[in-house]
Amino acid sequence: ETGVTQTPRHLVMGMTNKKSLKCEQHLGHNAMYWYKQSAKKPLELMFVYSLEERVENNSVPSRFSPECPNSSHLFLHLHTLQPEDSALYLCASSLQGAVSGYTFGSGTRLTVV
């Protein structure tokens, strides 16, 4: 375990479903991120939260809705997704001002059917 825990590890959902991805870190980090990893594409930054405030929304469709209730938890709420949204969704955290790099979770493998 890296210190960043993501649940569930795998998720299959229909296009009309609503589901949520959860990320939890107890590293004392104060910045959290959602990345999308698709085959043969660079990791795409989706959202950045710093000190529980959203500071970046990288032109992500509104069917993805993030929530950061506190510095240890990050959610990604999903609704009416498309098959092209199938990917590995990675959560990461870091300490603002530090140079230790991101710590990633193991990801949630999402399949939209």
Residues of the shown chain interacting with another protein in the complex, contacts defined by CB under 8 A: 2, 4, 6, 31, 40-43, 45, 48, 50, 56, 58, 90, 92, 94-107
- Nearest approach in angstroms of CB 15 to another protein is 26
- Nearest approach in angstroms of CB 4 to another protein is 7
| Nearer to another protein (CB atom), residue 55 or residue 113 | 55
- Nearest approach in angstroms of CB 79 to another protein is 24
Three-state SS at 100: coil
Q: Where are the beta strands (DSSP E) in 15-81?
A: 18-25, 31-37, 44-50, 53-57, 64-70, 73-79
Residues 49 and 30: their CA atoms lie apart, in Å, by: 8
